[in-house]
A and B are shown apart, each in its own frame.
Chain A
Amino acid sequence: MIPAAFEYYRPKDMAGVLSVLEEHGDDARVVAGGHSLIPMMKLRMAEVPHLIDLQDVAGLTGISIDAGRVRIGAMTTQHEIINHAGLSDVAPIMREASLQIADPQVRYMGTVGGNVANGDPGNDMPGLMQCLDATFILVGPDGERSVAARDFYEAAYMTDRADDEVLTAVEFAASKGGYAYEKQKRKIGDYATAAAAVLITKDGGTCASASIAMTNLSDTPVYSVDAGAALVGTSLDEASMKAAVDAMLGDIDPTEDNRGPIEFKRHAASVILRRAIENAWDRA
């Protein structure tokens, strides 16, 4: 558990970060909370000759809520998300999900930027961001650009982010209606066996909109357009529920690991999704 040697940089501003990235290309990487990257370096599964610490870079932290739009700086920790009063009002699903990530010690360090940029299918926030239809703000040598969370993930550890870009913030609209984050895990601090993020709005007794994404059931987060669509316009009767679950089962592609075989994961996914939908519906 000893990492290979690396150079450590601690710039004060984004220009400093970008210049190291530019100089060393994919030999350089940023570190945020380090709770995904450092273990990989210690296992020597990630070799990072040039490590750029983001913690002193100005302007990367904080949560702002403005005219129904939420912006969370990349270096904001999961702990800060849990304890931010205003955020719980406009996007309660953020708190519900964050409380199910890792354990308090990890959450003091783990950041939203690291969680979404990492590209690990086990991370909870990518699916959550897709459910919220969030936008990621990236900055690189050519300036700033934004990309939809739903377009960001390509494969495990492969994202739309270029090696010389840094994620500075995530943005999404305040969510209305019901929400639920359901996660099955083996123990505290475990990644999901199956997790579901659901947002539902109601119009009378009818589902007006539904956004559904799942985690750790494919090599990317799974945002299922069809699952959401199956609920819209229904009163969430058994048939529409089943249609939504079936649609999701058509979109996921889990692999066998110590959490269990594929058969089990598909079953767990359907149960967790059902529970999340029911929960969000009740809260809508």
Chain B
Amino acid sequence: MNKELTREERTDALGGMGCKRKRVEDARFTQGKGNYVDDIKLPGMLQGDFVRSPYAHARIKSIDSSAAMALDGVIAVLTAEDLAPLGLHWMPTLAGDKQMVLADGKVLFQGQEVAFVVAKDRYIAADAVELVEVDYEELPVLTDPFAAMESDVVLREDLLGEGGSLPDGAHGPRKHPNHIFTWEVGEKDATEQVLDEADVVAEETVYYHRTHPCPLETCGCVASMDKVNGKLTLHGTFQAPHAIRTVVSLISGIEEHNIRVISPDIGGGFGNKVGAYPGYVCSVVASIVTGVPVKWVEDRMENLMTTAFARDYHMTGKISATKEGKITGLHCHVTADHGGFDACADPTKFPAGFMNICTGSYDIPTAYLAVDGVYTNKAPGGVSYRCSFRVTEAAYFIERMVEVLAIELNMDAAELRRINFIKKEQFPYQSALGWEYDSGDYHTAWDKALKAVDYDGLRAEQAQRVEDFKAGKTRKLMGVGLTHFTEIVGAGPVKNCDILGLGMFDSCEIRIHPTGSAIARLGTISQGQGHATTFAQILATEIGLPADSITIEEGDTDTAPYGLGTYGSRSTPVAGAATAMAGRKIRAKAQMIAAYLLEVHDDDVEFDVDRFVVKGAPEKFKTMKEIAFAAYNQAIPGIEPGLEAVSYYDPPNMTYPFGAYVCVMDIDVDTGVTDIRRFYALDDCGTRINPMIIEGQVHGGLTEALAVALGQEIAYDDMGNVKTGTLMDFFLPTAWEVPNYETDHTVTPSPHHPIGAKGVGESPHVGGVPCFSNAVNDAFRAFGLRHTNMPHDHWRIWKTANDLGLHG
């Protein structure tokens, strides 16, 4: 007979929460056996490709596709004229605006979709694109949002009312034809009064440049309309497959049950794959028209130039404090460059996302935020690149403002943070800009971080370095970058979070099989986060079956329960909670079955790791495996056969992960070359489901933060040409550029989440960007620098040094 396992051994055998379970996805990914959109080949499939505008702003005088149509193998060339009768030449954006699917009389950004060529293969399609002749009349180009707000060039004539009047937009009144919205939060007058009366006020304008999530796999889809049964199947790179199904139904008129959306393996999303793109609409239309499947997959340049960018926030801040450094007020104005259409992916009621988390980790009693969205001749987007809605912008803003305030006060920036942190006992904390922070222990995290890096030692070394530099002994400066960030993730409570009217709950459905294994389906979709690994761990702990016996499935709307998908670190906070709650329903039924089998009352059994035991008599038990079998195969009075559960979880609040980061950087003043000597990242994401996956997420997020801070940008020239359209110029770091990261943690569970987990996928990006940037800025503090904008690439750092007179 088997030796009876100890409780600990039984726990380990489950591979549940807290263990470093190996990623079950990796077997297929590392062997090249993933199944991505571009791997999908359906019989008779055609290929779509776009004719795109070379101009940033132009009127289209004519489109002549006769030469393209004459090419052997070309099936169709769609233009706005073809889509108009179906009402599909424009589509709604996630931000309440509308966007051209194919250029309707004019183009508003370089790379805009003008015509859609459908051909027998990709090569013919590309040749045909060259043959479509478009006659453009160039128009004046606006690439600067401040200039756009002054200009009499109207970018969006379609939004003008009678006689050139300005009807309200989706988010209220508009001040100018190129203005989209003003969004205000907090108390304007009170904040201005606090600033007026303050001992010290620091002011700074901080530009968070435009960049791009640049997932390794670009966006694409395969649309397949089965004319016999009327069913449309749409495979695509969708971070929110159910939302796509509903949107497709609403705009196409096809009933929702006749649409099946499938997200296969996704090679990274980072927000780029949340929205709906013209390529999807055109592929669907082309498949409906031709009756055969149509594939469209972007190339790298198309991805960088046209599908959703991130950031592009011009942020002007004022922060006030007492002489002792106690912050009294914060004022923030943002001019947000949204490009030609407002296609930001934000919850409907938040046109600037959660920018109002910009009070950060600090107890700031009075604050005011106003955001003005502006149209320009740039690509639309404004997605949350590895962050919750506009949270990186907010974190960057406050972490720069605190540094600038420290300079103004002539104080140490670490100490300034410490005296302003929200205290542990203040949670749940009501912020001046409207959020209720769930939990936190910032002082503990901060002290741990500073101790780990020997903060005082670093400052002493830095002071010595400055002396040596001044004495001509070195040409390298040293920067110590600090950041304490607070994120807001897990959107979100349906009462205030929806996208296009779709509530932002999420879901999990579990079926236990008779032999004690299970399948769970969720409304989310992994793009590399490892859901199949971690969600099985949550369930293993909740229902007492081994994680290895639980299949996690996502991404097929015909089988998965409805959910709003994966972005904004919402999977664990929302779908993870649904998973735990569904698991608890399973457990509740299992408890009744166990009690019946053990011939005791329901209340006389209790759950113990992988079984129910009779209270006080642990030798009397039924394992979950036994219970599963009984659930299907034994007639139990008053209990339906089967063991299944579903949970739709509407979170009561967001979760608020936080962290303390320190970056130590050496800077060659003469070349602008940076060298990251050390990066320490302490993350508190509440309960930790899989420490190895957390570490992987932290490494990835920090690397994308390094990219953004040190060089990654979507830059335009004055004519609206994209200057960084390939990976030669768009910085995607490799192992070579990436330092060794030291990771650490504290654990402050979320009080309202069933398992206390807060989400971590985006924290390192949110906290990493200001940390790298603060290190660069800090290196020059001793020479009088207050602030210099990202990206901190070689020449800009060189320019900073040059402007400070450091080149002699």
Contacts and interface: CB of A to CB of B under 8 A. Distances in A.
Interface of A: 1-2, 4-5, 44, 103, 184, 186-191, 193, 258-261, 264, 267-268, 271-272
Contacts of A271: 670-671
A258 B715 CA distance: 9
B122 interface: yes
A261 B737 CA distance: 23
B127 interface: yes
B798 A260 contact: yes
Contacts of A259: 794-795
A184 B301 CA distance: 26
A268 B671 contact: yes
Contacts of B798: 260, 264, 267-268
B123 A268 contact: no
B671 A272 contact: yes
Given A264-B798, A267-B798, A2 B122 contact: yes
Interface string B716-745: 000000011000110101101100000000
Given A193-B794, A260-B798, A261-B795, A187 B731 contact: yes
B795 A260 contact: yes
A273 B195 CA distance: 51
Contacts of B723: 258
Nearest to B707: A187
Nearest to B737: A187
Contact of A189 (B672, B711, B734, B807): B734
A258 B796 CA distance: 11
A128 B807 CA distance: 29
Contacts of A186: 711, 731, 793-794
23 contacts: A2-B123, A2-B299, A4-B130, A5-B127, A184-B673, A186-B731, A186-B793, A187-B734, A188-B734, A188-B736, A189-B728, A191-B728, A193-B794, A258-B715, A258-B723, A260-B794, A260-B798, A264-B799, A267-B798, A267-B802, A268-B671, A268-B794, A268-B798
Contacts of B807: 267
B300 interface: yes
Contacts of A103: 734, 736
B126 interface: yes
Contact of A190 (B672, B728, B795): B728
The 4 closest A-B pairs by CB, nearest first: A260-B795, A2-B126, A188-B736, A1-B299
Contacts of B711: 186-187
Nearest to B724: A258
Contacts of B130: 4, 44
Contacts, number: 65
Contacts of A188: 734, 736-737
Interface residues of B, number: 32
Contacts of B795: 193, 259-261, 264
Given A2-B125, A264-B794, 18 more contacts: A1-B300, A4-B130, A103-B734, A184-B794, A186-B793, A186-B794, A187-B711, A187-B731, A187-B736, A188-B737, A189-B734, A191-B728, A193-B794, A260-B795, A264-B798, A264-B799, A267-B798, A271-B670
A188 to B, nearest CB: 4
B709 to A, nearest CB: 14
B523 to A, nearest CB: 35
Interface string B283-316: 0000000000000000111000000000000000
B794 A187 contact: no
Interface in B670-691: 670-673
**Binding site secondary structure of chain A:** loop
Residue from B300, B711, B798 having most chain A Cβ neighbours under 10 A: B798
A272 to B, nearest CB: 7
Interface in B125-146: 125-127, 130
Contacts of A191: 728
Among B671, B715, B793, max chain A CB count under 10 A is at B671
A4 B711 CA distance: 33
Contacts of A190: 728
Interface in B777-808: 793-796, 798-799, 802, 807
Contacts of B122: 2
A62 to B, nearest CB: 30
A40 B584 CA distance: 58
Nearest to A264: B795
B88 to A, nearest CB: 26
A187 B752 CA distance: 44
B238 to A, nearest CB: 23
Interface string B736-761: 11000000000000000000000000
A186 B733 CA distance: 10
Given A258-B729, A260-B794, A260-B798, A5 B123 contact: yes
Nearest to B713: A258
Nearest to A261: B795
Contacts of B672: 264, 268
A271 B715 CA distance: 27
**Which one of A184, A186, A193 has the greatest number of beta carbons of chain B within 10 Å?**
A186
A187 B733 contact: yes
Nearest to A272: B671
A272 B798 CA distance: 14
A186 to B, nearest CB: 6
A5 to B, nearest CB: 7
Interface string B461-505: 000000000000000000000000000000000000000000000
Contacts of B299: 1-2
B192 to A, nearest CB: 40
B117 to A, nearest CB: 12
Contacts of A272: 671
A3 to B, nearest CB: 8
B570 to A, nearest CB: 32
Contacts of A2: 122-123, 125-126, 299
Contacts of A267: 670, 798, 802, 807
B796 to A, nearest CB: 8
A184 B802 CA distance: 18
A25 to B, nearest CB: 23
B475 to A, nearest CB: 9
A186 B796 CA distance: 12
Contacts of B736: 103, 187-188
A268 B669 CA distance: 11
Interface string B632-676: 000000000000000000000000000000000000001111000
B671 A184 contact: yes
Contacts of A260: 793-796, 798
Nearest to A258: B729
A187 B734 CA distance: 8
Contacts of A268: 671-672, 794, 798
B56 to A, nearest CB: 18
B734 A4 contact: no
A109 B734 CA distance: 20
Contacts of B301: 1
Nearest to A1: B299
B211 to A, nearest CB: 14
A97 to B, nearest CB: 17
A103 B734 CA distance: 10
A191 B727 CA distance: 12
A103 B670 CA distance: 25
A176 B671 CA distance: 30
A161 B155 CA distance: 50
